[in-house]
Structure 1
Amino acid sequence: MEDYRYRCPVCVKLPLDGPPLGIEAPPFKYNLGHDQAKFEKSNTQCDLYRLVRDLHRIWLENGEGSRGKYWYSCSPWYSICTDPGVWDILPASSEAFVHPNPLDPSTIARLQTWIDRCDQEHEGCHGERYPVLPTRILDLGEPGFTGNVKLVETNSHRGQYIALSHCWGASNSFLTTRDTIESRKNGFLPDQAPATFRDAIMLARCLEIRYLWIDSLCIIQGDKEDWNVEASRMGDVYRNAYLMVAAANAADDTQGFLKSRPKIQCSMNVVAPTGQAAKVYLRPQNYKYDNKDLPLESRGWTLQESYLCRRQLRFMHQKIIWDCQSTQWDELDRDVLEKKYQSGTHHSVARLFPENESRHSVPYEEWYGMIVDFATRKFSVQTDRLPALSGLAALVAAQKKGRYCAGLWWEDIGYSICWTPGLHRSRPDLYIAPSWSWASIIGPVTFPDVGYAAFFPTPETLDAVVFRDYKAIHRGSNQYGEIECAWLELEAPLAPIAKVKDEKLEERDQHPHWRECEYFSILDTKNEEVLRVEFDFKEEEVDELFALFLMCAVDRDTGRHAPAERLRSSAVELSGLVLRPTLDPGKIQGQYSLPKGFGLYQRVGFFKVVTRQAKQKFLEMAPVTNIALL
């Protein structure tokens, strides 16, 4: 057979002259290059050459490469992993073997090890060992029992239970309603339940935990009164759970979460320096990155559940993650590392109570950071947006002695009503929250200095602004849940504004976030400064609009500015809300007993204006006015 070794431009660069590799680690990576013209002229019949040439041509046709040079590589990066039981004799192995079956005895043993370690070593990760059970619970029977599952009324009995966090999906046929509650109490076989419920039952039985809480089975669906009562107790349900199981990899209840993981194709037996035999496996590096496109991460209700639970098992596409208040363990890794918060995605209620709160000029800044995530999530029922936070809000209110105001907090209300909407938002079909609450729109929001760096320091409420009271009328008994009507009573500088048409101004702001802005000035004044207005919805641009001045930020020169910037360093940035008068104020005032002598307004947008005037001088154009903001 002809030796193409000396004729093929590909083979000539490969290290084929060395001895057999044997058990030595192979050189996994080659980066090779050729001049394209010379490469194309080669007349070798080598199959490897023709493969590289043809693949490169396809690559160019798809617009992915550049002509003139062939670049190709062989880069199969692998990690060495072993069974957890041999880590001590093979310390070079940093990763763990993952069995394809998530219910394999070796997997269950590892999960039980995590639970036991947390029980014994982490004081802050569990409350009462046997807390009061939720109103209703699924009884799975004694260890070893495989029969019917029964829904039981707990009557304040105590015990340990798992709480399930899951995506319902569109086909919600297996529920507890007034019509089916007796059937659920009589019992059902696991095979009768959807795959996600069936998997939760099997997992709980493997871990020998008798009780299981699933919202769609333990709350009576379609019963508004029961739903209101149980929604208000959601904080206790997840907070007191012995463990939460998050079906992160299932888009609905029919899919299940105990899915087979990829098999590892390559394994070998080795002898450790101690003389002990062990098996090692090679796993592709990209196997580890398994936190994208998880259905549970986009569902609105599950964010609260993740914050409230003390510890959870998250079932992902290729692995299981343990999260508690003290650490995070990854099924792919050794358990010696304490990796708390390294991923940046862990949700813990402790994050809402920073150890050094004096650093925070905004008392609830961590809450609003959480809302930035929450606002992007999906709901099948729009009016669930506030109830889906009610358990967490109740816990935060109790811990911080705060006053909750339709998704915001009274203690920094002047700051928090100055949120701005993202580019992709819509108006809800039904009333959800007052116009000044982020919950009044469907879509992303940001808060001042939360999520981005501003040129000016964190704004502060103007001295002339006084918030008098907050009033709310709720639907049902949950005081942190659905709202029928709510308003703020305040006094603040208010001025009528009119639109300014200036092409130079519009050309100046070409950042995508500001392209939707309009420019306004205070009516009937000679003031040259313009207000840059972003409407919550484009159609809100009406004839009669007002600027409500709330916040102020002064950029003091501390020597950090370049000479060209120092002129701006003495500027004052004023910001606030754009308002319109409420439609039919007489009817609203009579229906809800709003205060007399207050003008009734609604938020329609947010504005900023930068001025080099003294703020007191500028605000002379905006007299302080009594306002009821709906």
Structure 2
Amino acid sequence: MSSSSLELCPQPARPDHRPREFIPLRGEGGERFDGDAQIQLFLLCAKCKSLEGLLGGYLELAAPLAADPGPPTYEIKEHYPTLGLLRDSFQRGCHLCTVMWDSLMKPGNYAALDSDEGWGGARGGALSIELQLDLPRFILVPLVLSSPSSTTRGCMICIEPASKPVQIERAIPTSAVSTRAVTGDVSFYRRCADICDSSHTRCHVKRIDRLPTRLLHVEAVPDGTGAGTAHRVQLVSAENLPADAKYAALSYCWGEQHGLRLTESNYQDLTADIPYGQLPATIQDSVAVTTALGLQYIWVDALCIVQDSPGDWSREASKMCDVYQGCSVALAASGAPGSGDGLFAVRDPLRQVPCRLLGTMHARSWNSLVESPWALETRGWAIQEQLLPARSVRFGSYLVWECRELIMNEFWVEERPEPKAQPYNGLPIELYPLVLEPRRSDPVNLSGVRDLWYRILTRYSRTSLSVKGDKLVAIAGLGSAFERRTGWRLVHGLWEPFIIQDLLWRRSDGGHCDPTGLRPSWSWASQHGDLSFSTYFVLIVRTYVAECVGIRPFGNSRAELISPAAMELNGVMCRTREAEKPHESPHMKHLRGDNFNVKYLRAEGWPAAILLMASYDRDDRPWTDGDMILPLSVTVSPDWWPRAEGLLVVPTIDPTAFERVGAFDVRVLAKQNSREREDAERFLEALARGGGEPLVRQRILLI
């Protein structure tokens, strides 16, 4: 069955936005647009209809060869003679041309193709398609030829057989779809909740038995006109509720202005009644969704924590893990940058739904997998709010249901995690069997749990915090869940049983960090920015050449040199000097270069074949004469390149204490079986054994 023709069914106007951009329904953009516009999916222009027929012919020819289709083949097909014609077809509502247009939009900035900036005049170029036949799927790559020697390539478009989860009876809608995200029609999340209630087992195992301290009681009531519904909201104490009361929990961005919040002065008033009209739009919408889901209670931080009471805030913040892990469903205002924007959006359905071809194939641009995150996904506090609930509804430019067994968008398309494009998708599904489901007495999947923690931290490091000092407290709920599962103890963000390994965090290649003002310097929480937590700790057998003797508070007569935790280490330290960047021969391609702010150093007394690659926590920090290295691990194995890793440290104003300023690793530059390489390997083996000049072990205090 082929798709319908655009010429036979003209489309109404659609919102003009980036593929994942959130345009609030309540905002100016939503008011300007006809919220009742109905967009027909899968309509194709004449050019794309011809392309669909071509693909169908290839499938027919390949049918007898299904068991052995052979290697992929490539062809180049002409499409539109100019990008302007592609844009016109996209604007008229051709679904496949919309996918092609989006594949040409540059990830990260989505530069308009109407402008020459960044495109080298490509807008006047002819559009062709590189077609790869890798049956049973196809790969399309739009090509814009702006001159005989200049071609702009779009992102890959995958066309593959549609998959449908066995739990879902519905398919992608074939009728018209509204340009506004579902509001009054709650069939999507009610249907997902019904599926989850009737067929999922993992989503209903609760390890949290206590309710939050306070909740909002919500109910829908007649608005007095007989034509609509109003909502009554009241602050209640959980002490007066049944222990098995079910509640929703809101996860959202406050924005610059929040509006009504709970304070010591209005506490009693809000226990009597909370004026619905005074609530920010996002909370109003959340109240409506809560009642639509058949729930009577919702937890909202601004109204369930006394905002001007540091004591209450501290107590309730420590319970975040229980609040979100214990909720019946989390409502995530993923797209809204502020509390005044509401949950719902206007959008172009053609940019959200894969284009169906030949009745059974779906076309989707790789750009759709690497798009910019929604606003809430960039907020540090929201990481644990996303990972801990058993069930969530995400409200962005489209709606997504996510539970421990299913991730589905409102178009009934499964949102499959794509490791290469979004390496941190699917974390809630992984967190449950590794951390939340097992009892503490069950064996711990050591490598799985540690790998998951490092991946969560990597994602967390790329989010923002309005208060940088919240770096540890904003993820404390997740830390508590891991502690309960494993019995390990977090020490300033590092796991005590693996604290030497955990010291080896570093600024990501090309990343930028700013100090948070938190101590100790050896904790990743001291830096705000893109950090790397290597997961290969759990894969490589290493020899750790430093030993943690103990951790204690530190302070001296100078108030500016105080640390809540000083780590006493038994190890070696060596002075450093600057080195020139080596010649980058083919076997050195793996070395990081100047573009990543790596500084090359030599260590005093180390063989000349060993080069240190230093990554300072501050990317603009120069090497100084006092910089020293503190090796932590060594690997000398026939299966791995010889290497060592450790910290860059500097002395403080207290001669007994040192601070971390970065991390380093080493590479042996000598060729295999050369004398220089043998000397370097013998040196690293001696370092691993921990003896001999110049490797004199000493007590080191790291603050």
Q: TM-score, normalised on structure 2?
A: 0.64
Residue by residue, what CA displacement relative to the aligned partner does 1:182-227 show, whole Å, maximum 9, x if unpaired?
Answer: 3322322322111111110111122221111111211111321111
* Shift in Å, 1:289: 4.1
Aligned residues: 523
Distance 1:151 1:511, change over 3 A: same
CA distance 1:229–1:34, change in 2 (3 Å) = closer
Equivalent position of 2:532 in the other structure: 446
Range moving further from structure 2, 147-156 or 287-296: 287-296
Q: CA deviation at 1:103?
A: 4.8
Closer, same or farther: CA 287–99 of 1 in aligned 2, 3 Å: farther
Aligned twin of 1:294: 374
CA deviations 1:102-124 (Å, max 9, x no partner) are 4555x412311211221222121
Change (3 A) 1:484 1:527: closer
2: distance between equivalents of 1:513 and 1:404? 34
Q: Deviations over 1:423-480 (max 9, x none)?
A: 332333x532311111111111112345xxx9x9736242x4322233469xxxxxxx
Give the Cα–Cα distance (whole angstroms) in 1 for the partners of residues 570 and 175 of structure 2.
Answer: 62
Secondary structure in 2 aligned to 1:577?
strand
Question: Secondary structure of the residue that 2:345 maps to in structure 1?
Answer: coil
Code of the aligned partner of 1:140: V
Structure 1 residue 487 and structure 2 residue 566: aligned? yes
664, 672, 681: which one aligns with 1:607: 664
Which residue, out of 426, 429, 433, partners 1:346?
426
- SS of the counterpart of 2:411? coil
The aligned amino acid for 1:469 is G
Instruction: State the alpha-carbon separation in 2 of the partners of residues 457 and 613 from structure 1.
Output: 23
Check the 8 A contact 2:454/2:534 in 1, yes or no.
no
Q: Does 1:535 align with 2:592?
A: no
Which secondary structure state, in structure 1, belongs to the residue aligned with residue 699 of structure 2? Answer: strand
Determine the structure 2 residue equivalent to 1:628. Answer: 701
Distance 1:549 1:361, change over 3 A: farther
Give the equivalent residue in structure 1 for 2:576: 498
Which amino acid counterpart does residue 310 of structure 1 have in structure 2?
A: A
User: How far off is 1:285 after superposition?
Assistant: 6.1
- What amino acid is aligned across from residue 549 of structure 1 in structure 2? P
Quick one: structure 1 residues 146 and 132, their matched pair in 2 at CA, closer, same or farther if it must change by over 3 Å? farther
In 2: Cα distance, 1:242 partner to 1:584 partner: 53
- Which residue of 576, 601, 607 maps to 1:519? 601
Query: In structure 1, how many angstroms separate the alpha carbons of the residues matched to 2:115 and 2:528?
Result: 46
1:155 to 231, 234, 239: 239
Change over 3 Å in CA distance of 1:625–1:370 after alignment to 2: same
SS in 1 for 2:497: helix
Partner Cα distance (2:367, 2:592) in 1? 40
Q: Which deviates more from structure 2 when the two are superposed, residues 571-580 or residues 178-187?
A: 178-187
Q: 1:86-235 residue pairs with structure 2 within 5 A? A: 98-103=177-182, 107-128=185-206, 131-141=209-219, 146-155=230-239, 157=241, 158=243, 159-235=245-321
Change over 3 Å in CA distance of 1:469–1:363 after alignment to 2:
farther
| Aligned partners of 1:142 and 1:210 also within 8 Å | no
Greater RCO, CA 8 A, separation 6+ = 2
Structure 1 position 427 matched with structure 2 position 507: no
Deviations 1:339-360 (A, max 9, x none): 5788751331227549999886
Task: Note the 1:350-361 alignment, pairs <5 A.
Answer: 350=432, 353=435
Task: Provide the C-alpha distance between the structure 1 equivalents of 2:219 and 2:187, rounded to a whole number of angstroms.
Answer: 21
TM-superposed CA distance for 1:528, in Å, is: 5.6
Q: 2:335 aligns with which of 243, 246, 249?
A: 249
The 8 Å contact of residues 572 and 612 in structure 1, kept in 2 or not, is answered as yes
Residue 545 in structure 1 maps to residue 627 in structure 2: yes
Partner Cα distance (1:29, 1:55) in 2: 29
Determine helix, strand or coil for the equivalent of 2:459: helix
- For 1:34 and 1:375, locate their aligned partners in 2 and report how far apart those are by CA, in whole Å: 43
Letter of the 1:615 partner, please give it: L
| Deviation for aligned residue 1:294 | 0.8
1:404 counterpart (490, 494, 497): 490
What is the CA distance between 1:232 and its match in structure 2?
0.8
Determine the C-alpha separation between the residues in 2 that align with 1:218 and 1:259: 27
Equivalent position amino acid for 1:195 in 2: A
Contact 2:635 2:644 in 1 (8 A): yes
Please give the per-residue CA displacement for 1:532-587, whole angstroms capped at 9, x wherever unaligned. Answer: 32222244744323321211122415xxxxxxxxxxx6x521111121223236xx
CA separation of 1:283 and 1:542: change in aligned 2, threshold 3 A: closer
Which residue of structure 1 aligns with residue 551 of structure 2? 470
Aligned match of 2:25: none
- Secondary structure (helix, strand or coil) at the match of 1:442 reads strand
Amino acid aligned to 1:574: A
User: Relative to structure 1, is the Cα distance of residues 260 and 616 closer, same or farther in structure 2, using a 3 angstrom cutoff?
Assistant: closer
User: 1:240 is matched with which residue?
Assistant: 326
Distance change (3 Å), C-alpha of 1:66 and 1:127: same
Where 1:253 maps in the other structure, the secondary structure is: coil
Q: Which residue of 2 aligns with 1:458?
A: 540
Equivalent position SS for 1:150: strand
Task: Say which SS state the counterpart of residue 701 (structure 2) adopts.
Answer: strand
Task: Report if aligned partners of 2:520, 2:564 keep a CA contact under 8 Å in 1.
Answer: yes
Question: What is the letter of the counterpart of residue 626 of structure 1?
Answer: R
CA distance in 1, matches of 2:205, 2:314: 25
Is the counterpart of residue 367 in structure 1 residue 440 in structure 2?
A: no
Q: Does 1:579 align with 2:659?
A: no
Pair 627,33 (structure 1): closer, same or farther in 2 beyond 3 Å: closer
Deviation of 1:411 (Å): 1.9
Letter of the structure 1 residue corresponding to residue 569 of structure 2: L
- The alpha-carbon deviation at position 612 of structure 1 amounts to 2.2
Contact 1:33/1:69 (CA < 8 Å) preserved in 2?
no
CA distance in 2, matches of 1:108, 1:303: 26
- Letter paired with 2:540: T
1:384 aligns with 2:454: no
Give the aligned partner of residue 386 of structure 2.
306
Would the aligned equivalents of 1:434 and 1:485 in 2 still touch at CA under 8 Å?
yes
Q: Output the amino acid matched with 2:653.
A: L
Q: Which one is further off, 396-405 or 433-442?
A: 433-442
Does the 8 Å CA contact 2:600/2:614 hold for their aligned counterparts?
yes
Q: Structure 1 pair 99/542, CA: closer, same or farther in 2 (3 Å)?
A: same
* Cα offsets for 1:509-547 (capped at 9, x unmatched): 562565431312225x77663433222224474432332
Determine what percentage of the aligned residue pairs are the same residue: 24
Q: Any gaps of 5 or more consecutive residues in structure 2? A: 1-7, 10-42, 52-76, 83-113, 127-143, 223-228, 352-358, 555-561, 669-679
User: Cα distance, 1:254 vs. partner?
Assistant: 1.1
SS in 2 for 1:602: strand
Partner amino acid, structure 1, of 2:615: E
SS at match of 2:647: strand
- What letter corresponds to residue 599 of structure 2 in structure 1? C
Distance 1:605 1:403, change over 3 A: same
Change beyond 3 A, Cα 1:284–1:530: closer
SS of the counterpart of 1:607?
strand
Tell me whether 227-236 or 200-209 shows the greater mean CA deviation. Answer: 200-209
- The TM-score, its normalising length taken from structure 1, stands at 0.71
- Quote the Cα distance in structure 1 between the aligned partners of 2:426 and 2:201: 19
C-alpha distance in structure 2 between counterparts of 1:572 and 1:187, whole Å = 68
